[in-house]
Amino acid sequence: MIKDDPDLLVRPDPANRRLTQEVVGVNERGERVDARVPVERALTLYLNAQEIVTMMTINDYPEYLALGYLLNQNMLKPADRVTAVDYDEDLEVVVVRTEAQTNFEDKLRKRTQTSGCAQGTAFGDLMEALDAIELPKTRLRTSWLYRLTHAINTTPSLYLEAGAIHGCVLAREDRPLVYMEDVGRHNAVDKIAGWMFRHGQSGADKIFYTTGRLTSEMVIKTVRMGIPILVSRSGFTAWGVELARRTGLTLIGRARGKRFLALSGEDRILFDQDLAYVEGLSAKGRRGEGGDD
């Protein structure tokens, strides 16, 4: 169970010097400057004896990433019993072991690409599992939304340290619980899915926040995680909106400062926030723009 702790359970670690690297360059005046940039590392994922994929990641949570990737690709079912997740730092390999072996060779063959930061995702597989999911009709207060985005924007992060990184946050009401970052935004989503699986967390009372765009793939992953509310500071695509409406997901985009736009499930939003107050808050937030892609 999640304790009623004011701190994030998982937060970005901008002080971790493995995650960023200092490089020397020149600025617009020709002056020498030091810059900090995120480090992308190769991580090869195995499911039992089967090599699945090599991912580029900041590699802060290889176990969560491995589990979340397999879950979001429908290669691992929530009911599957995972017996071990072994990570070998030298080999840059993570192995997820399950009690029963699965044959997913067909899935590896039937690969479809998706827009945005896709990972050669078997899109058809993601779709397949959607129809079975019924999202709870969880309400969203706009007062939560503003407190939440303000908390996210002011949390020390790799984004604020080095840019060029995506962030995802699992939240409940107005409180961020798990804040993951990665060079690919789908890695950040997958790490949260892995965290939820490992900690037996339901998505029913959660809100999912992403810096990335609200594409069809982002909608599908959120629905698969059983989360009824998806929020982004970025924009929408038409298919993302259509899928959100079909699955009953509350979809909120372009959430910057006091502004936002809801294009699905807007009947479940309670407009309880005094907007005059938000203008003061958002002026203090530091992540006015971000996602940086």
Ranges within 231-270 binding a copy of itself (CB under 8 A): 234-241, 253-254, 258-264, 266, 269
Residue 12 in contact with residue 165, Cβ under 8 Å? no
| Contact status: 91 vs a copy of itself (CB under 8 A) | no
Location of structure tokens 């063959």: 109
What distance in Å separates the CA atoms of residue 155 and residue 169, rounded to the nearest whole number? 11
Ranges within 7-26 binding a copy of itself (CB under 8 A): 20-21, 23-26
DSSP 8-state secondary structure symbol assigned to residue 236: B
Q: For CA atoms 267, 270, 275, 280, give the dihedral sign.
A: negative
| Contact status: 68 vs a copy of itself (CB under 8 A) | no
Taking the least distance from each CB to a copy of itself, the nearer of 26 and 100 is 26
| Contact status: 111 vs a copy of itself (CB under 8 A) | yes
Ranges within 175-204 binding a copy of itself (CB under 8 A): 182-185, 187
Helix (H, G, I), strand (E, B) or coil at 46: strand
CB of 101 to a copy of itself, least distance (A): 21
CB count within 10 Å of CB 248 equals 16
* Strand segments (E) across 173-285: 175-182, 207-210, 229-232, 250-256, 259-264, 269-270
Taking the least distance from each CB to a copy of itself, the nearer of 9 and 163 is 163
Taking the least distance from each CB to a copy of itself, the nearer of 99 and 267 is 267
Binding footprint of a copy of itself, residue count (CB under 8 A): 73
CB of 210 to a copy of itself, least distance (A): 10
